[in-house]
C-alpha cells in the first residue's frame, strides 16, 4: 500500500508526516516480526529494548522511556513475563515496587530481531544519502527536544 504524496491533502503538516511515518514503521515491523515467526509485537519489542537499556528500571521508568501509559505498560510487561523475556523482582528498599530485568531468553529474542530492524532501517533510508540520514535524525531530535521543553 503506497500513498501518493501529491494526493495527500495535509502533506505540509509536520505532525501528520511524523504520525504517518510512525504508523508505517510500526506496521512494517509488526508485519516482518509476524512473517518471521517472532511471536512478539512492535510494542513489546520497544519495551524489551528499553528494559535492556535500563536494567532494574521501575515500571514507571519503563513507561516513561517507551512512551507508554501505565495501563499499557502493565499489559505489555505481563505478556513479556509470560513469554519468559523479563522477570520482575521486588525492590529491596521499597517492597511495593518491582524492578524489571531482561532474561537470557529476552536477550536472545532481541539479538534475533536485530537483523530485521536493521533491514527496516535500510528500507527507511534507502532514498537518503548518509548526510541526509544524519540531518533527518538531527532534525527529529530537535523536534523532540522542542516539544519536550514545551511539555515541561
Contact at 8 Å (CB) between 100 and 88? yes
Q: What is the pLDDT of residues 91-125, one digit of tens each?
A: 888 878 899 999 999 999 999 999 999 999 999 99
Residue listed under C-alpha cell 536493521: 118
Residue 6 pLDDT class (50, 70, 90 cuts): low
| pTM summary value | 0.83
Which H or E run includes 147?
helix 130-151
Amino acid at each position: 500500500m503506497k500513498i501518493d504524496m501529491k494526493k495527500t491533502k495535509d502533506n505540509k503538516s509536520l505532525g501528520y508526516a511524523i504520525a504517518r511515518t510512525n504508523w508505517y514503521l510500526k506496521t512494517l515491523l509488526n508485519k516482518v516480526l509476524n512473517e518471521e515467526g517472532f511471536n512478539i509485537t512492535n510494542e513489546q519489542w520497544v519495551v524489551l529494548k528499553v528494559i535492556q537499556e535500563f536494567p532494574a528500571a521501575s515500571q514507571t521508568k519503563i513507561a516513561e522511556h517507551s512512551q507508554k501509559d501505565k495501563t499499557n505498560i502493565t499489559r505489555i510487561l505481563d505478556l513479556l513475563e509470560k513469554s519468559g523475556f523479563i522477570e520482575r523482582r521486588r525492590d529491596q528498599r521499597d517492597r511495593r515496587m518491582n524492578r524489571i530485568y531482561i532474561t537470557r531468553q529476552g536477550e536472545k529474542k532481541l539479538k534475533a530481531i536485530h537483523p530485521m530492524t536493521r533491514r527496516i532501517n535500510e528500507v527507511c533510508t534507502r532514498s537518503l544519502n548518509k548526510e541526509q540520514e544524519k540531518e533527518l535524525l538531527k532534525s527529529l531530535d530537535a523536534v523532540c527536544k522542542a516539544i519536550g521543553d514545551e511539555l515541561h
